[in-house]
Structure 1
């Protein structure tokens, strides 16, 4: 049974009617603050509500991400939607169901246990009572606080949850239903924004006459502080003006990037704030026989959304309406209000689908820019669309990181003492973090004070930032983490899928393979010897069976198989992965097997899609992706400069869910990132007989490693 303790979403939004209503005959309103980012979450949440209410899934009408009509649920992030919002909806729906049964039982003079529900209709002794949710709605007051006391269904009784219900929105998407980019109300003004090329840069000049000439149409040039925008009824004219301004702009002052090319040495030398945490008791085995050390790194990465960010805003003189693909519409509304000197009640933010993104991309920035320009053009809808160059150079970057691990081995070759040391800038600059709006253009406009050098990273209590998954999920007697938070770095870094879990898991799982090799043991057996968690062992054993691991060929001949494991945040879904690949001119991942324990899986097809997407994205990061720098600024401007995994390179993927379905749902949206990276890294080492510890595992790095090996 799932415990009826109130989850955070329900504590923050306790009124039952905020979540569920029966205003339209035959339809059930489900309101949620979580938003659809392509992960299928709205389908899963509607399944949960339909299950507890005993109505057909097709009756559900979901309202999502509207500040005027949804519960305020913070960000759609952290693999929390089903685990937290879903838990809230389950309790709310169960309590609503119980209230309706109690009310009808009172009318009929019977016990609630004598009644049952079939697709929203109430039966007694199997016969219709003539009542349903909609006929009783006026008699049941849902404007009350949830208690969490109503019994939820047993998983054994589920008829909707646990089944692969198709996403209701996909048919419309295929038929051309609009994304935020497609919204085109009458009187639209198109805007392009000139963004600063490095931190704190001052806009000294640009050739305004040349900009107007290049536009080839009527444009409005807006300039305030270090912010400039080009607005026109014609989107082509706005784009041409932006291109000309970008070419002619002169920037001074500020703090150029310390990075050059793909150099990682600055990570070691940059000033940092250091904290140390420790866990465990006395070392195992009566002392240390051998110390093994290894270093790993990852460069900066981009969100790489296929479409750039976009937002629309309109100010009617009293109220501001914003349409955005933000992951946190309520947080966005509140920080727009603070930054633009409006009351939150004067702003409505509605989520509209955009290009998929896991983490903090530039959606909130585009929304701020549209809102700011709308206030200066009342009565007109302003549409801001970022350009591809902006997405690489001005959007928040996935942080570069360096990881060093020292394992002190006992006589049995197992780690008795383990220290992981991480050097990374912060992984969290969403709106509101560190008490700041974190809109890049707000800083350029001088609407916020300069950013202090020291900013807090995402707290460990909610999963951590650079420290996410740094604590190896194995039975190691003593573990320590040393976190060097790099302060004052003049680059804009923030949340990207998995945060620190990508590199941390890659590093941990790579070193475990090396330790197994030192002991002459199979990597699977070595891991199992370090794991007493039966659910961790189950996914490892299952993925080994799926991939026929025991028949893994010998390595060093250009083909390899690698294994890795991780439990996301050490408290969400478990996943073990095996990658099979070949190494020629490039690394080609041919197959990936994944065994996943996510507890109760609400929608297996949707869950599998999440794991598949995570595998593909992690493979792209691990093999290809890295932002480049030159002359103090980001030099990556196009897909030619930033290769990502192509459709033709996507491996065959097999996924199996093995978790107990009577256990709470565990978040899976980011669970695949670390294990996939670790499995690929170990497979490359198996294929080559040489280990590469710096990501991405590019052709250049492979050649360097092989030449170094030849030179001895």
Structure 2
């Protein structure tokens, strides 16, 4: 059930029993900093220290923690749940630092009217940014509450204990958190440092907790935006152009308008949609409308069979992102070089994108599974020529995401259609062929690596070049939305730009964590984009790590050294060495016995060189007749800093290994000179249950008290490297073009 009333955060926080907002509280118990008296006296004021995590952008404690008069506690996050399990982990962090039971908390995820603006849920930043902010806000709130209790009870804070939502005195007296917030003391600025609990005292963090989002998924209960059915809702379907460059010449909509259940046909330039009472009526009307539309198409796509050369021939903006030593000066020694290629990848969301919108007057509310409600709001507002305050975007989970798929576009579709049919909720559900043909893909890429080896078998010169489009065309401006691009008052797509390092886009993880005396890395950014592209899980890290780890194996083989030993020889980071050693040990690497059709492989990276460490050892089996490879088992080791929910972290790594293996062995977007042709599961195959490995082990390296390191994407690259190296070991031939399909393996094995 949905309520379309537009609420502001302030109205919610000022609701009955919620006593947290205080516009006169300039200084609170337990807070430090420069006072108004300091300012008036002319005392020297030092610049404030930076705040941890997302507190730097939303510094008030009650932006993150709300305590009601009845003791109810709500935790706010600007991040969204998209299968990574953060709803559970963020609650664990808050419960630990507030000293309350986990079940006493509620979590409000991203909503432009209620939560902090944390941009996109992307780049494995949820725990690093939001988790850190909530951890510090909760700890500081606990100290403020204890200080206030001490004032009321006439006791020093160090004689009081916060427990189960109460502050207790040694003599048995206690005050509930709800009683203590009656003076509205949490509307204060966060401090740079927090009285965090010592990891040895943790009772909620670093404890396996069942994920809050799983029960509805496995029991068939409403779990996703696709399941929402608000009262009075109508259904809409969009008729997409048949290809990128197609222009709508004409459409005879009379038969559609008279079809059963049809409420309205919406046309705005190339944007064409139909609204109906029931979903099936909308689907039938969409098919009828599509048949009545006449389009002018142009042949503008490159030749699929020559895609790598097409990529290399595109104009590029070149930047040297690493120069170490004198990489061009090396002479002598054994030299190797290799070129690796990656096709376009689809998100392959199991549930096609969906959104619900309602327009009332000059207000629009949208329920969407976007990864960024605030950027999506801004884009929709721009498309509709509304102030952004007039658009509210509420996150609702969707069945498939991990990047910029069709979710934002579906939200734009729903908002545009709802404006044409106001005062009722309008549900827009994409069709399978629309999701596959129109979502933004992960870009095709080419890498070229070269190295020279010294007499001692170590790498003395390393060169890495990568060619790639941008890896983010996410909303912000209206031109990122398909609906805005197809309207008569067309908003063109913004110019593509590279994403800056240290996180990067196409060059993400192109700089290896391995240490070489001489190294050079060049990013060839390609502004021209033959296919629509944007963010897909791990961005360029998947391809760059696949390339680096494949080449490391090739180099190790060239000098006759075990590939794990070869990696350790070039690693100085102790945490990296620990992670590699753990994966090799648990896999029993040194004792592996090669059998016919079986091979082992290894892969390692620190995601973005600043997030979680991950090493994976893999065993594959190759069927010589069909060439099809299957991942038999994988053993991973992960260091993501302080662990919050071990089960959730294991879930993430297991899922990443499966998805990366699917990319590596099966997936590739296909097209002819005009249209996308991989528009269903037959033409875009993914890993099926029969190909799921017999076992995946994930071994966690906990670092108590260390910062959270993002782990949601850490396994994508190492898994690709491990699987590719295992295939090469099994068949005795190196395949450098993805995917490692049955046909490619069969040809290489001949």
TM-score by shorter chain over 0.5: yes
Q: How well do the aligned residues superpose, as a CA RMSD in angstroms?
A: 2.0
Is it true that 1:273 corresponds to 2:313 in the alignment?
Answer: no
Instruction: Summarize the alignment of residues 40-59 of structure 1 with structure 2, pairs less than 5 Å apart.
Output: 40-59=85-104
CA distance in 1, matches of 2:53, 2:383: 27
Name the SS of the counterpart of 2:649 in structure 1: helix
Specify the alignment match of 1:163 in structure 2.
207
Tell me, yes or no, if the aligned pair for 2:479 and 2:493 is still in contact at 8 Å. no
Gapped regions of structure 2 (runs ≥ 5): 1-48
CA distance in 2, matches of 1:207, 1:688: 58
Stretch deviating more after TM superposition (291-300 or 15-24): 15-24
Specify the alignment match of 1:298 in structure 2.
342
CA distance in 1, matches of 2:522, 2:381: 38
Stretch deviating more after TM superposition (659-668 or 357-366): 659-668
Deviations 1:305-339 (A, max 9, x none): 11100000111113211111111111111221122
Specify the alignment match of 1:18 in structure 2.
63
Is it true that 1:527 corresponds to 2:567 in the alignment?
Answer: yes
Tell me, yes or no, if the aligned pair for 1:284 and 1:416 is still in contact at 8 Å. no
Specify the alignment match of 2:377 in structure 1.
333
Tell me, yes or no, if the aligned pair for 1:199 and 1:490 is still in contact at 8 Å. no
Name the SS of the counterpart of 1:686 in structure 2: helix
Tell me, yes or no, if the aligned pair for 2:266 and 2:420 is still in contact at 8 Å. no
Specify the alignment match of 2:741 in structure 1.
698
Name the SS of the counterpart of 1:333 in structure 2: helix
Instruction: Summarize the alignment of residues 95-244 of structure 1 with structure 2, pairs less than 5 Å apart.
Output: 95-125=140-170, 127-175=171-219, 176-209=221-254, 211=256, 217-244=261-288
CA distance in 1, matches of 2:66, 2:370: 26
Name the SS of the counterpart of 1:643 in structure 2: coil
Name the SS of the counterpart of 2:480 in structure 1: coil
Deviations 1:599-634 (A, max 9, x none): 111000000000011001001000001111113221
Of the three residues 596, 603, 617, the one matched with 2:638 is 596
Specify the alignment match of 1:710 in structure 2.
none
Is it true that 1:464 corresponds to 2:504 in the alignment?
Answer: yes
Number of residue pairs aligned between Structure 1 and Structure 2: 697
Query: How far did 1:248 drift?
Result: 5.0
Is it true that 1:400 corresponds to 2:440 in the alignment?
Answer: no
Tell me, yes or no, if the aligned pair for 2:50 and 2:56 is still in contact at 8 Å. no
Tell me, yes or no, if the aligned pair for 2:735 and 2:748 is still in contact at 8 Å. yes
Deviations 1:111-133 (A, max 9, x none): 111111111111222x4323021
Tell me, yes or no, if the aligned pair for 1:196 and 1:394 is still in contact at 8 Å. no
Is it true that 1:678 corresponds to 2:721 in the alignment?
Answer: yes
CA distance in 1, matches of 2:300, 2:236: 27
Of the three residues 676, 700, 703, the one matched with 1:657 is 700
Query: How far did 1:468 drift?
Result: 0.7
Tell me, yes or no, if the aligned pair for 1:615 and 1:673 is still in contact at 8 Å. yes
Is it true that 1:626 corresponds to 2:668 in the alignment?
Answer: yes
Of the three residues 444, 460, 478, the one matched with 2:518 is 478
Deviations 1:247-270 (A, max 9, x none): 454332566221435743211212
Stretch deviating more after TM superposition (338-347 or 693-702): 338-347
Is it true that 1:560 corresponds to 2:599 in the alignment?
Answer: yes
Instruction: Summarize the alignment of residues 361-440 of structure 1 with structure 2, pairs less than 5 Å apart.
Output: 361-432=405-476, 437-440=479-482
Gapped regions of structure 1 (runs ≥ 5): 708-712
Tell me, yes or no, if the aligned pair for 1:198 and 1:257 is still in contact at 8 Å. no
Deviations 1:334-370 (A, max 9, x none): 2211221111221221111111311101111111111
Tell me, yes or no, if the aligned pair for 2:262 and 2:274 is still in contact at 8 Å. no
Deviations 1:165-220 (A, max 9, x none): 1123433444413421121223222111122333342111345356568x655352
Deviations 1:636-692 (A, max 9, x none): 111111111112211110000024223111100000100000000000000000010
Deviations 1:472-523 (A, max 9, x none): 1101122222212222223210000011111111110011101111111100
Stretch deviating more after TM superposition (403-412 or 69-78): 403-412
Structure 1 residues 376 and 211: CA distance shift in structure 2, 3 A: closer
Specify the alignment match of 1:578 in structure 2.
617
Tell me, yes or no, if the aligned pair for 1:318 and 1:346 is still in contact at 8 Å. yes
Tell me, yes or no, if the aligned pair for 1:420 and 1:480 is still in contact at 8 Å. yes
Structure 1 residues 248 and 258: CA distance shift in structure 2, 3 A: farther
Structure 1 residues 447 and 111: CA distance shift in structure 2, 3 A: farther
Stretch deviating more after TM superposition (236-245 or 388-397): 236-245
Tell me, yes or no, if the aligned pair for 2:146 and 2:157 is still in contact at 8 Å. yes
Tell me, yes or no, if the aligned pair for 2:262 and 2:285 is still in contact at 8 Å. no
CA distance in 2, matches of 1:415, 1:120: 58
Stretch deviating more after TM superposition (439-448 or 93-102): 439-448
CA distance in 2, matches of 1:89, 1:218: 48
Structure 1 residues 403 and 93: CA distance shift in structure 2, 3 A: same
Tell me, yes or no, if the aligned pair for 1:573 and 1:599 is still in contact at 8 Å. yes
Name the SS of the counterpart of 2:262 in structure 1: coil
Stretch deviating more after TM superposition (564-573 or 630-639): 630-639
Structure 1 residues 376 and 209: CA distance shift in structure 2, 3 A: closer
Stretch deviating more after TM superposition (566-575 or 110-119): 110-119
Instruction: Summarize the alignment of residues 21-100 of structure 1 with structure 2, pairs less than 5 Å apart.
Output: 21-23=66-68, 25-100=70-145
Tell me, yes or no, if the aligned pair for 2:52 and 2:192 is still in contact at 8 Å. no
Tell me, yes or no, if the aligned pair for 1:583 and 1:687 is still in contact at 8 Å. yes
Specify the alignment match of 2:731 in structure 1.
688
Name the SS of the counterpart of 1:695 in structure 2: coil
CA distance in 2, matches of 1:273, 1:194: 36
CA distance in 2, matches of 1:472, 1:413: 18
Query: How far did 1:436 drift?
Result: 5.4
CA distance in 2, matches of 1:5, 1:196: 49
Of the three residues 511, 516, 520, the one matched with 2:551 is 511
Name the SS of the counterpart of 2:530 in structure 1: coil
CA distance in 1, matches of 2:381, 2:660: 36
Query: How far did 1:24 drift?
Result: 5.3
Query: How far did 1:401 drift?
Result: 0.5
Specify the alignment match of 1:667 in structure 2.
710
Tell me, yes or no, if the aligned pair for 2:621 and 2:629 is still in contact at 8 Å. yes
Is it true that 1:318 corresponds to 2:362 in the alignment?
Answer: yes
CA distance in 1, matches of 2:372, 2:471: 17
CA distance in 1, matches of 2:59, 2:386: 27
TM-score, normalisation: structure 1? 0.94
CA distance in 2, matches of 1:475, 1:622: 27
CA distance in 2, matches of 1:329, 1:252: 35
